[in-house]
Structure 1
Amino acid sequence: MVACLVTMVVLLFGNVALRYLFNSGINISDEVSRLAFVWLIFIGSVLAVRTHTHMGVTMLVERFGPAARRISHLFCQVLILAVLCMWIKGGWAQTQIGMGTQLPVTGLPAGLFDLACLYAALAMALLTLADIVLTLGGAEPPLDASATDPLS
């Protein structure tokens, strides 16, 4: 995430400075910055899944007992896994399509944008599976954002 952010800042600031000071610019800065931004967002999404910091509404689940909370958590995780499987299938199809198309300035495959989506879906699916296994193994399901890592 840091590398993506640094890339964006350096390229965009450098491009603006060059345009105003020397009336020139870095041709690839817009495409590479856009690619770095997309990867930054998807990497951040995976990190949010790993740390259970995605937004959630817990006012109903807070009233459940431990057994009902575990069942509702497992049900939600199975639903999430089903959606992620569809996301993986679509992400793979889009990545394959995009690899045949080149970006106009850099010549990079346009599928690199879709690859970020595929990476996020796969990583989130693995984290969700790990969470399901841990919950079935007796771990307390998280109520909301917590600092517990599902892989630790």
Structure 2
Amino acid sequence: MMRTGDDLSPAGDGAGRMRPVLRAVRGLTGAFDWSGRIVTAACLAAMFAALLVNVVLRYAFGSGIAWAYEIHALLLPWLVAGGLVVASARGANISVTLLPDLIGPGTRRVLAILVQVLVLWIVLAVLWSSQPIINASRFQTLSTLGIRQVWGYASLVYAFGAMAVIAALALLRSLAGETPVDPTAPRSLS
């Protein structure tokens, strides 16, 4: 769980100041959290505004705006991508914590390192394997908007690229002796 202003060192049970590298790592993770929040809020606002304007125009004048149906094809993937980035930055992904709950802190740290390596490998594999789809989407165009669908598929690069960086940062935190996500800690949405 990320806390603003948490400068205590992970080593020594919070005694002393946090190392500058860990502070930078937390700051970068926080920046990804904020980028996901901004993307999510902007997509929700734009989709809601387009839908509202379309409904008002349709009921007031008998016809709406044609592109209001297509804008969701671009913004919904970005909405999901923003949510993935926020969840990843906060360590709030869906998880089963049975094994971490049963083992001690030292073994839990080793498990956290293995999990972050596995997550990093998976997201990089998804990025690599999605390249043909993204390249093909450069030639597909939304009929009403005239926008290439690559802009919607680019959300894959944003989401999985950010998740790769966040996993690498969590790996650094784990190697430095910090537990980036404590499965026993209560979750906060702030």
Normalised by the length of structure 2, the TM-score is: 0.73
Q: Give yes or no for the alignment of 1:57 onto 2:114.
A: no
Per the TM alignment, residue 112 of structure 1 is displaced from its structure 2 partner at its CA by 1.5
Q: Is the 8 A contact 2:74 2:149 kept in 1?
A: no
Q: Is the 8 A contact 2:77 2:153 kept in 1?
A: no
| Residue from 83, 88, 99 that aligns with 1:44 | 83
Per the TM alignment, residue 93 of structure 1 is displaced from its structure 2 partner at its CA by 2.5
Q: In percent, how many aligned pairs have the same letter?
A: 29
Aligned Cα root-mean-square deviation (Å): 1.5
Look up the match of 1:67: 106
What residue ranges of structure 2 are gaps of 5+ in the alignment? 1-39
1:1-152 matched pairs, under 5 angstroms: 1-144=40-183, 146=187
Find runs of 4+ consecutive structure 1 residues off by over 2 angstroms: 90-93, 143-147
Rounded Cα–Cα distance in structure 2 between residues aligned with 1:97 and 1:71? 40
What residue ranges of structure 1 are gaps of 5+ in the alignment? 148-152
Give secondary structure in 1 for the equivalent of 2:70.
helix
Rounded Cα–Cα distance in structure 2 between residues aligned with 1:72 and 1:20? 57
Give secondary structure in 1 for the equivalent of 2:98.
coil
| Pair 1:4–1:141, CA change in 2 (3 A) | closer
Give secondary structure in 2 for the equivalent of 1:60.
helix
Q: Is the 8 A contact 1:94 1:111 kept in 2?
A: no
Per the TM alignment, residue 34 of structure 1 is displaced from its structure 2 partner at its CA by 2.9
Per the TM alignment, residue 84 of structure 1 is displaced from its structure 2 partner at its CA by 0.4
Normalised by the length of structure 1, the TM-score is: 0.90
Per the TM alignment, residue 85 of structure 1 is displaced from its structure 2 partner at its CA by 0.9
Q: Is the 8 A contact 2:75 2:152 kept in 1?
A: no
